[in-house]
Structure 1
Amino acid sequence: MVELTPGGNAPLSDSKVTVRVISGLAADISSFRLYDSGKVRGDADMVFYGQKQNDDTSIQMISDGTNSAFTVDLSRMRSDVQRIAFTATAEQNAQITSLRSLEIQVEVNGQSVIRGQVELQGRPEAALILGELYRRNQEWKFRFISQGFNGGLQPLAEHFGVDIDSSTATSAPTSAPAPTPTPAAPPISLSKVSLTKEAPRVNLAKKDNFGVIKVNLDWNQGKKKTGLFARSSGIDLDIGAFVKTRNGNRDVIQALGERFGSMNSSPYVELQGDDRTGAVTGGEWLHISGQHWQELEEVLIFAFIYQGTPSWENTDGVVTIHIPGQGPIETRLTDGNNRQGMCAIARLSNVNGSIEVERINQYFSGHKELDKAFGWGFSWGRGSK
């Protein structure tokens, strides 16, 4: 493996690579597809926690937490893309030193081939440009940069030309009428809500139609681990939901028993397939019809380990709720009881037409115990996939 110091570069041996960022504590990582100007041409050129792939899927974010990564297919990269920059930001705009450790790696076929270790001691910045993939004589190389930015992710994104949604309004000059604006896509939102023990709830204002509410379960899909929790041991981490409608109907949505649900009829919740090993890019998705939100009373989101030894702290598991017009809402599954294979993650409740999202993060030995704890009243038997 090639070890780089800041400013150093190395050639790539393959067009399909994984760029991995490993930190001591959870960090927000991003990538920016850049052109001759050194800027993006649109918000689709940015990939981050709120937009986990670009418009042609040549760059995809595949995990979160302390071991985060992007898959990059350089063979499908647009010919006018000159660089792809990778950045890291400490959460809550803390100094980057709070991460305790930070490195970036380039992997080919699951093997690390290039590595850059960031020296964090004495650094006051809240964000870093870690490295970049760049073209040179029609070939791709990687450069380790380690350049700091004060102020966090927003000034970093704006440096690369991303149009950021901001609540600060600016007035047009009064000496001349403002020109008719050209219709454009709404600016990208960097707002993110992390549900914690200290701040377990968020309330979203009532709407006639919330659109498609997407709930994502993602876990460590990075380097193969040794021991009982290795990917090769066939760990199957599943997402599901208990659903209650306003007319009193109750249902269970999960891959177990092939209860995939429906978006167009009751219960208005649908599981988007089943990832048996975590190998599917982006993890598992559960969709909720926000168009029918007024017909729903409660959706209790859960995850369970269908196969493998429970080890929640090793999953780097994160559940993210995406609601159109809102920043992503996330909660992490890293503090569970390792003898219990099921987690009640979050509850979405209809409160007078609004959505209340509540972090739960309670762990149980199975479906029956979770049901009893929350009083759903289902009858349970053994099931399979």
Structure 2
Amino acid sequence: MAKGTNAVVPTTAVRVELEWGAGPGVPRADSVALLLVGGRVRGDADVIRPAGPGRPDDPGAAVRYEDGRGGNGRVTDTLAVDLARVDDAVERIVLAVSTASGTFGQVSRPGVRVLDAARGAELARFDCTDLTVETSLVLGELYRRGDGWKFRAVGQGYGEGRRALAEDFGVTPTALAPAPDAPPPAVPTPPSSLPVAPAPSPPRAPARTPTPDPPATPVRLSKVTLTKDAPAVSLAKQGGTGGTLRVNLNWGVRERPQDRGSRWRRLTAPHRNLDLDLCALYELTDGRKGVVQALGHAYGALHAPPYVHLDGDDRTGAAEGGENLTINLDHRTALRRVLVFVMIYEGADSFADLHATVTLRPQHGAPVEFFLDECTVTAPVCALALLTQEGGDLVVRREARYLVPEPGIGIQRAVDHAYGWGLNWTPGRK
């Protein structure tokens, strides 16, 4: 399979084999399966690791490790998965490997196979190539599609290792801690025909593990920052070919000049009744149009049209929370365009005294980020980003366009008019 492609899993009882190279000078690696609900684990019980000290294995679990073996320079971890018994709330099972030290550029051909547990027939196979500085790697995932399951070849890595993997999927760091090293095997001493007194050994230099050049641009290494000079990015080129795209807005207020010289202060609790609302206008390829917003409780839907969902209504702007909107990239071909915008619901007259950060985080690939600190007009609304359909790919364009509604024109209607959406608007409340 090629990276980003998927295949139907025609049976419910499958065996999943995660494998990678091993040998002298090769970093030790271990694997994990993550059971995701809404893109994140619910707790440590959704983190499935090989059995070992402190990690009892449940023989009756729907997802469990069956065995691990090595030979011929390869290590294979095997999972037994009964898809028919997986908790209905679980949407995806992510299959990942991480190195204890070193990078996957030093590991030979990590890959994943999905087999029919009853017949042993191979249903899907994906081998990762061209790896460099990755220290954690999502090989693939099993995910629900309608009443069945599919497998996707992911092949996306993290230059920051287990920490980044844990952050993306809501895992506690201890749950992904590397397994302790096994004691090295004893090396037999060859027989000798005559007893020989052992000669003193000269001091030996420690074995050197080859390391790659320091990375300038790891796979998920750094955020892609959109600017006026570089305003657009293809999600496919960043690895965002499926899964979800999470749009986060967090904000702060400018302190008074007499207070620390106009620095930005992050809001961590409701303050001055400031309330920003993240919203989205959508247009589907079948012609349907609408809005996703807290007003009128029009929160949208993730697994049904419009495939855009607003998590809730936040009043803090905290970086770990803020306002969040999720787009289902598995249905990206159904989306003609999506305009993400933010409006001030109450607590301020304009963005001029506010600082906001917008982060678009695809499930696979580098996050996309830009900032809003250039408002010089009394604008209560800002068009943030426009996602447009281009040959099956969604292209993200930074808008950062502040709008001043004409007298008698509502905020959302001003956005609609600016982008030619053509919706009928009526008053609404939260």
TM-score by length of 2: 0.45
Say which one has the larger Rg.
2
TM-score by length of 1: 0.50
